[in-house]
Amino acid sequence: MTTTGYIGRRLLQIVPVLLFVVTVTFVLINSIPGDPVRILVGPAADAAAIEAARAKYGLDQPLYVRYVRYLAAVATGDFGTSIHYGGVAVTEKILERLPVTLLLLASSFTLAIGSAIPLGIFAAKNRNNGYDHLARVTSLIGVSTPSFWVGLLLIIVFAYYGDLLPPSGLVMPWADPASVDGATSRLDVLTTAASHLILPSITLGTLQMAAITRIERSSMLEVLNKDYVQLARAYGVSERTILRRQAFKNAQLPVLTVIGIQMTTALGGAVLTETVFNINGMGNLIITAVRAQDYQLIMGTTIFFAIVFVLGVLVVDVLYAVIDPRISYGGGAGE
C-alpha cells in the first residue's frame, strides 16, 4: 500500500471515531443537571423570555431531533453558535483562541524537546554514574508532579517573591505595539511576549520534557547495546561518531511516538496551564463553556480536540516511514 493510500484509509477511519465522540459527548452534556438558557437570561427573566431563548438556540426540540440536526450541521463544518457568547459562531471562537494555545504549545515543546533529547542521550552515554542518576531522578519528579502545582510554585517564586516575571496573561508576538502596555516598538512587544511565555512554557513543558527524557535514555541504551554498535566500537569508531551516525537516528522511533502522543494530550494540560496563568486560549474557552453549560461550545471544542488527537497519531505513523525506510504500509517490512 502506498503512503497516499494509507493516509486515505486512515482518514476514513477518523469518521466513526468522531461519530462516537460526538454521540457520547452529546448524551453526557444533555444528561447533566442545569439549564444553560436560565444561566443566559438570568433568574429575573419571565417564562416568555426563557421560551424565546430556548427556541432561538433550538433547545425546545426533542433530544433526538437536536442530535440529528447537530450531526447534519457538523457534516457541513457548522458547529453551531455559542449561548454564552450571545450567538457567536463556535468556529469563530475556536479560531480566535487557537493561536494563543498553539503559541503556548509550540514554546513548551521547543523547551521540552530541546532539553529532553540532549539529557536522554547524555544519561545513556554515562549510564549508572552521577549524571545518569540525576537525569533519572529529575525525570521521575517531572512525570510525578501535577502541572498546576508547578505553575503555582513558579508564580510564587518568580512572580510574587522574585518579581521577575509576570504571573498571568499572554502577549502575542505579532500584537500591535500600541495595544501592549509600555511597548513602543516591535522589539518591546517581542520582549514582553517572551517574558509572559516563560512560566507557562515551563509549567506545560515539564511533564513533556520528563517523559521524553526517559524514553530517549532507554531507547539510546537499547541501540547502544546492539551488535552493529559493538562492531563499530571494535573497529575503533569514536563514541561521538557512533552516537551521531549509528545510534541517534535508530533510537528515535519510540521517542517520536511519545512526542506525538504528548503533543496531542498536551492540549489537556493546556486547560490547567491557561487556568493557572489566566490565559485566554482554548483551555480557558473550555472551562468557560463548561461553567456556562454552553452545549454547542462544549461540543465544538471537544470535536476539535478529537480531530487534533487522531490527526496527531496519523502524522506520527506517517513519520515512521520517513525515519525508518524499512517500514512499509503493506503489512510487511520494506525491501
Convert the pLDDT of each residue in 130-158 to its tens digit.
888 888 888 888 888 888 899 999 999 99
Task: Choose the most confident range, by mean pLDDT, from 52-56, 116-120, 309-313.
Answer: 116-120
Residue 256 included in any domain = yes
Q: What percent of the chain has pLDDT over 90?
A: 20
pLDDT of residue 327: 64
Residue 105 included in any domain = yes
pLDDT of residue 334: 42
**112: pLDDT strictly greater than 70:** yes
The residue ranking higher by pLDDT, 260 or 114, is 114
152 and 206 Cβ atoms separated by less than 8 Å:
no
Residue 195 included in any domain = yes
Q: Domain containing 275: what range?
A: 95-280
Q: At what angle do helices 3-29 and 63-75 cross, to 10 degrees?
A: 150
188 and 177 Cβ atoms separated by less than 8 Å:
yes
Residue 276 included in any domain = yes
SS (H, E, C) 251-270: CHHHHHHHHHHHHHHHHHHH
Residue 53 included in any domain = no
Residue 310 included in any domain = no
pLDDT of residue 321: 66
Per the structure, the count of domains in the chain is 1
Residue 71 included in any domain = no
Residue 127 included in any domain = yes
- Mean per-residue pLDDT for 45-70? 83
> For residue 218, what is the domain's CATH number?
1.10.3720.10
- Mean per-residue pLDDT for 310-329? 73
For residues 70 and 64, what is the distance between their CA atoms, to the nearest angstrom?
Answer: 10
